[in-house]
């Protein structure tokens, strides 16, 4: 589990994706959006544990990961009062209307299809962190 240093006052973001290259790309986009990556993990179980302990402002979760899926993490975070307010962005190669609807029904704030552009992800992160007290 990677816990980089973070800037005071910056939005705190958890990144979870089982693909190293995608996780690195998401971390780059999060930083370009002016936020701090507080935790970057390769599986869903670690993501859920990290979300509960770090209480980030935003969690960027891959839908399909070992340990727990992004949908399972999303539902678990929404069910717990301490984590219910974390904003959630789901990333997935599957972006049919049904898949997006399942993600939003699980409690996600937004859903972004892979492949995505860094600029598109930066904008989505900025949108989701707008209005979040730093």
Q: pLDDT tens string for the chain (134 positions)?
A: 444 444 556 899 999 999 999 999 999 999 999 999 999 999 999 999 999 999 999 999 999 999 999 999 999 999 999 999 999 999 998 777 888 888 888 899 999 988 999 999 999 999 999 866 65
Phi-psi region of 131 (alpha: psi -120 to 50; beta: other; left: phi over 0): left
Query: Quick one: pLDDT at residue 44?
Result: 96
Distance (Å, whole) CA 122 – CA 36:
13
Closest CA to 101 of 111, 113, 93, 91: 111
d(CA 95, CA 101): 9
> Distance between CA atoms of 122 and 38, rounded to whole angstroms?
17
Q: Where are the domains of the chain?
A: 12-129
Which pTM was predicted? 0.90
**CATH class assigned to 12-129:** alpha beta
């Amino acid at each position: 589990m990677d816990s980089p240093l973070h800037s005071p006052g910056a939005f705190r973001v958890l990144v979870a994706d089982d693909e190293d290259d995608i996780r690195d790309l998401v971390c780059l986009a999060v930083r370009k959006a002016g936020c701090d990556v507080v935790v970057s993990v390769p599986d869903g179980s670690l993501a859920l544990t990290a979300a509960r302990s770090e209480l980030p402002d935003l969690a960027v979760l891959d839908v399909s990961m070992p340990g727990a899926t992004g949908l399972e993490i999303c539902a678990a975070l929404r069910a717990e009062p301490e984590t219910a307010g974390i904003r959630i962005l789901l990333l997935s190669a599957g972006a049919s209307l049904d898949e997006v609807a399942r993600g939003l029904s699980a409690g996600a704030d937004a859903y972004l299809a892979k492949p995505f552009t860094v600029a598109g992800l930066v904008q989505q992160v900025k949108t989701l962190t707008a209005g979040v007290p730093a």
